[in-house]
Amino acid sequence: MPDTITREEICQPENMIYCRTPLLTDAPLSYCPGCGHGTAHRLIMEVIEEMNLQADTIGVAPVGCSVLAYDFLDIDMQQAAHGRAPAVATGIKRLMPDKFVFTYQGDGDLAAIGTGETIHACNRGENITIFFVNNGIYGMTGGQMAPTTLPNMKTATSPFGRDVQTMGYPLKITELIAMLPGTYFVSRQSVHTPANVRKAKKAIEKAISYQKLNKGLSFVEIVSNCNSGWKMTPLESNKWMEENMFSFFPLGDIKVPK
């Protein structure tokens, strides 16, 4: 009887317990190394795969780093003008109420130019799901200050740190929309550790499954790193995020159905 098992014997298809979901295309992700967007994409697609919704899901891509999301997600996708993803998703959902419609937006898209669309889609209680990836910066255009940039945080357009006297306070858009009666489920998660990834996946599962109930808008914020914009290595940026972002953007469910 052999007392060891070789690598080849373990690496057999029947022993596989985790692999990249086939709902992600083979196209290499355009994101920087260590960026949370890739993990967020994967979690959404894993949930859609597990719920067997590939043929019934329509996603709306934003403008920002994730503008090319339609290249990576193997579902029906629509690209919206900057910030207008909730409005486009509203139209799609109203015309095709049987489909699962979600938007995937960054903070420059959702919390800056798209604030009006976001708040009104939430206030109307549109029966869609919004995934909001918040890294506190305009990542794609080179790390400029965003509405969600923390006080005293250095960016390309606030090189001495964000001065709240002249540049205002960071926008807690997730808390803001949680107050609106049209939202059904609002949660804030992150994807930088295995435990947080598992929690985020549960929140995404809830957000998608609540669409069946026709009770209102589900909103999941994912606090992410932007190591290129923050000028750090991926590991440093995750540590910085834990130390600085989470005190201002605390993780957890903000509004849960009663």
Partner 1 sequence: MAKVKGEIVVNTERCKGCQLCVPVCKENVIAMSENLNGKGYHFAQSVNDECNGCINCALVCPDGAITVYRVKLNESLKAAS
* 188 lines the binding site for partner 1 (CB under 8 A): no
* 65 lines the binding site for partner 1 (CB under 8 A): no
Residues 198-257 that bind partner 1 (CB under 8 A): 198, 233-235, 238
Can you tell me the distance from the alpha carbon of 144 to that of 58, in angstroms, rounded to the nearest whole number? 31
Nearest alpha carbon to residue 117 among 81, 66, 80, 83 = 83
Complex with partner 1: residue 41 or 84, whichever CB lies closer: 41
Can you tell me the distance from the alpha carbon of 107 to that of 250, in angstroms, rounded to the nearest whole number? 16
Residue 130 tokens read as 């919004």
* 12 lines the binding site for partner 1 (CB under 8 A): yes
Can you tell me the distance from the alpha carbon of 55 to that of 85, in angstroms, rounded to the nearest whole number? 20
Which residue has 């540049």 as its token pair? 167
The three-point CA angle 238-139-101 to 5° equals 95
Contacting residues for 51 by C-beta, under 8 A, at least 6 apart:
205, 208, 209
Complex with partner 1: residue 127 or 224, whichever CB lies closer: 224
Minimum distance, C-beta of residue 1 to partner 1, in the bound complex (Å): 4
* 52 lines the binding site for partner 1 (CB under 8 A): no
Q: Which stretch binds partner 1 (CB under 8 A): 7-15, 50-58, 83-91, 143-151?
A: 7-15
Minimum distance, C-beta of residue 165 to partner 1, in the bound complex (Å): 37
Q: Which one of 39, 127, 134, 155 is in contact with partner 1 (CB under 8 A)?
A: 39
Q: Which one of 9, 163, 250, 252 is in contact with partner 1 (CB under 8 A)?
A: 9
* 159 lines the binding site for partner 1 (CB under 8 A): no
Pair 107, 132: CB distance under 8 Å: yes
Residue 64 tokens read as 């920002």
Residues that bind partner 1 (CB under 8 A): 1-3, 5, 7, 9-12, 15-21, 24, 28-29, 31-39, 42, 191-194, 197-198, 233-235, 238
